Chain A
Amino acid sequence: MTAPQGARILIVDDEPQIRKLLKVTLQAHQFEIHECADGEEAVIQASIVHPDLIVLDLGLPGMSGMDVLQRIREWSQVPVIVLTAKEREEDKIAALDGGADDYVTKPFGMGELVARIRVALRHVAKTTDEPVLRFGSLTIDLAQRQVDLDGSPVKLTPTEYEMLKVLATHAGKIITQRQLLQQVWGGHHHESDSHYLRVYVGHLRKKLQEDPTRPRFIQTEPGIGYRFLLQD
């Protein structure tokens, strides 16, 4: 796998100013940059240059960002970070459910975008069959189904454990409410089921001794889902 530094990134945005901003900054961070301004070209470029990551603007003229994502997902698992204008929660959810790895809201801070890019690239590089996940004082032993916090075991219900597992194996990445419901409870879920999640996350947070107003592990992404925080 390609290391984060020097990774090849494809930027898809119709605004020249934003492309320029992204190109200059990301090149300064030692990434190799390819860029294009519309959806059709993006699909072609994705298959020619084989980028390690794609930064995709959802609001493209002509072929929309969502269509581009769908076309790319037909044959590639390359990480995709979507750029959106803040107003549309449903766009972000649709993109994440449709296979995007993360989103960044316009206007964004460059530091945030670079951090997200790093997480997404690292996630690909990381082997998923690692049996023990460590996050600071929290250890999750996937083989033993054992969770330890500060050296002492945490008693979790099966559902709580499943939730923690799904979140932690995607650490740093956002998991939408629907994805979480599907992976923990299985089957089809309605949007209104999301309050199960709130209650379970509340219980999980209590057991992990988290202050909901200052989360240490599980961060709520308003209106979208949850993100397990990477401990630095």
Chain B
Amino acid sequence: MQQVLALLPLTSFFVPPFLSFTVEDLRYMFSFIVYLAVAVLTASLAGRLRQQLEVVKQREITTNSLYALSRQMTAVTDLHTLLGNIVRQVSLTLGAPAAIYLPNAQGELQVTSSSEDSDSIAWGEGEAEVAIAKWVYKHGEIAGRGSSSLRESSGLYVPLRTEDQTHGVLAVNLESSDLQEQREELRLLEACGGLAASAIARVKLAEEARLAQVTAESERIRTALLDSVSHELRTPLTAIIGSATGLLENDSLFTPEDRKELTGNIRDGALRMNRLVTNLLGMVKLESGMLQLRRKWCDVGDMIGIVLTQVQQFIQHRRIRVELPDQPPFVSGDEVLLEQVLVNVISNAIKYSPEDSEIVITVKVDERHGRMTIVVADSGVGIPEAERERVFEKFYRSESSRHVTGTGLGLAICRGIVEVHGGTITAEPNPGGGTRVCICLPTEEPEASFPYMGQGEEE
């Protein structure tokens, strides 16, 4: 029609007689026909081009939304958020309510995610919709509008399938009835369904892997705990019971020295048990999140002094040298816990170093970075490189130090406590042989309004 209209000005203005639709020369009729044919041809080409453009635009939207969806899905590991994202994206792209059905713990299919507010009854929760979803879930085939089965339904249901399994159903409430559009929507839904299915499978597998790991880990810890507790508790208990019964039953046989030896034995065994119990309780506190920091300003020099008096009883001929800066720093932390860290680290230095060796405790302040490091260096056996990280794991005991008693809990507790304080604890080789444990803690200036100078006039 347009092409015919376009012919009219040509006949009236350019073909004689002018301003008339009459054609004098028959040759012009031939021109008209050629002209008309070309016009019809180009118009149809243009039309088709425009149509293709529409399709391409539609595909772009589809691709974009699929791209957005896939990008979101790789980032999210929580199944619920993931499904929420998928439903929202699908609903946004198609401008229609969407829902995802997954089987619950009893294997019953139900809506797990819906694009609509939870206040109103969301689309997809009706009996008919659930029934169709169940059929789709069971047969693993697409159903609903635009597909080959159950066309009269307003929704379109896509199974979420990976190769061997149907995980659930994705459904959209479609309004359009245009066949072309439906085909596009179907393609998009199928693609989304595929993405969602693989994402669900991924999350499920990750969850299974995590569970397996947790089970294996708790199994390992339980074995380690039983081993270490039975050994570490039984040994001192045996010493205590043995010495005590000996004293009770054969008192007359012993010389005063023997008696002293046996009672000393009882004390040492009990002290060792007490250390074990303290560490076990500490671990339980750390693990259960019961550990609450009572932050105060702690004088590091003072803290080291307290720790040295605590380790005094098992220091056994080792020399301890302390190198403090002129202005020992203050750290904000829980002094009791930080002291426990130092006691554990220094006890280790004593335990794993030979008699008459020197243990050096150095405090360094890095004011520029606001951190302070306490280094405890011994000249003992040292830790092989491969184990420098692992010694901080629970119940980990180095093969090379099996002969020294211990549970492998001390350093794990240290790391827990230091990390709660926002610091780090590492083990590295001591240049002169042995091990250096570095405890790095953030320092801050105590509040500026400190009134020392104000009241500190000299008498």
Contact = CB atoms under 8 A, between A and B. Distances in A.
B302 A198 contact: yes
Nearest to A157: B456
A213 B451 CA distance: 26
Interface string B239-270: 00000000000000000000000000001001
A212 B305 contact: yes
Contacts of B335: 222-223
Contacts of A75: none
A157 B455 contact: yes
A192 interface: yes
A199 B450 contact: yes
Contacts of B270: 107
A192 B322 contact: no
A192 B299 contact: no
Contacts of A160: 456
A196 B299 contact: no
A194 B305 contact: no
Contact of B301 (A158, A212, A223): A212
A129 interface: no
A196 B339 contact: no
Contacts of A203: 452, 456
A196 B450 contact: yes
Interface residues of A, number: 32
Contacts of A89: 294, 336
A126 interface: no
Interface string B314-332: 0000000010100010100
B328 to A, nearest CB: 7
Given A158-B457, A220-B306, A195 B336 contact: no
A212 B459 contact: no
| Interface bracket on B | 20 to 34
A157 B451 CA distance: 13
A194 B446 CA distance: 11
A134 B166 CA distance: 88
B204 interface: no
B297 interface: yes
Contacts of B119: none
B305 A199 contact: no
B452 A158 contact: no
A63 B54 CA distance: 85
A87 interface: yes
Interface string B414-456: 0000000000000000000000000000000010001110011
Closest 10 A/B residue pairs (Cβ):
A195-B297, A212-B301, A213-B305, A157-B456, A198-B299, A213-B322, A223-B336, A213-B304, A212-B302, A220-B302
15 contacts: A89-B336, A107-B270, A145-B459, A155-B459, A159-B455, A160-B456, A198-B302, A201-B302, A202-B301, A213-B324, A214-B305, A215-B305, A222-B306, A222-B339, A223-B336
Interface of A: 86-87, 89, 107, 109, 145, 155-161, 191-192, 194-196, 198-203, 211-215, 220, 222-223
Given A158-B455, A223-B294, 10 more contacts: A156-B459, A195-B297, A195-B330, A195-B450, A212-B301, A212-B304, A222-B303, A222-B335, A222-B336, A223-B335
